[in-house]
Structure 1
Amino acid sequence: MAKNKYHDSGPTQRQLRVGELIRRTLAEVLARGDIHDPDLNRMSITVGEVRTSPDLKIATAYVLPLGGKGKEEVVKLLARHKGELRHIIGKKAGLKFTPDLRFQLDQTFDQMDETRRMLSQDAVRRDLEE
């Protein structure tokens, strides 16, 4: 039985390349304040990763406001301006087709903190030392 080329193998080189191009461009656009929204321009936003769908029609950006304050607000503001962001990214990145943008909170830092907390527990440290 043939494997589906989109499953069980992770993202393709093309998906990774387009995702990173969008991530860098989005981070630059947000850092420079190119969006016409004073609330959004006041925030420092980290774009940790951008994942694209196998057909490159959807790009999900994982974002986090610096310091972690206003998490829900930043996702709403970005979603409100996704059309403008898509247009700017398409022009700056030189993409033939710019994916539809989606935004989610980047949970990576929370997961690292939780892992650090678990590894510092006495019972876990004892198990690791054995």
Structure 2
Amino acid sequence: MDAQLGKWKVVKEETTGLDEFLTKLGLPKEAQAAYKDLDYTIETSKDGDSFKSVVNITGRDPLVYTWKLGEAFEYQSLDGTKPMLTVTEEGDTVVESYTLEKFNRQWKCVRKVDGDAMTATTSCEDVSMVQKLKRV
């Protein structure tokens, strides 16, 4: 988890599979448009056994989360839904498991760091989106 601490910026032009992933999640076209233009940074810090993540999305107020590994917490999605999110470590990767019971949706994001580059692979059933982030 320590490798993922600090500030990371998404490299939008390197995102692949976004359209297919958003369609698989069942998001309406207008919600999909917001995700396609998404430009953000995420900064994560650690204090004891707690973590704080601040997501800064261009044109929006920051989203701030305080969480612990293995404990579910409510996450605020861009489309207004609030899935439960549980973050765990599996070897040298961090796995984010999302559950949105209201719409019977589940998906996972696996994050892996290699130096100053992070790859985030988000999957729902047989469809995946890959995002690249760089340390800033």
TM-score between the two structures when normalised by the length of structure 2? 0.32
TM-score between the two structures when normalised by the length of structure 1? 0.33
Higher relative contact order (CA 8 A, sep 6+): 2
- Greater share of residues in strand: 2
- Based on CA coordinates, which of the two structures has the bigger radius of gyration? 1
- Greater share of residues in helix: 1
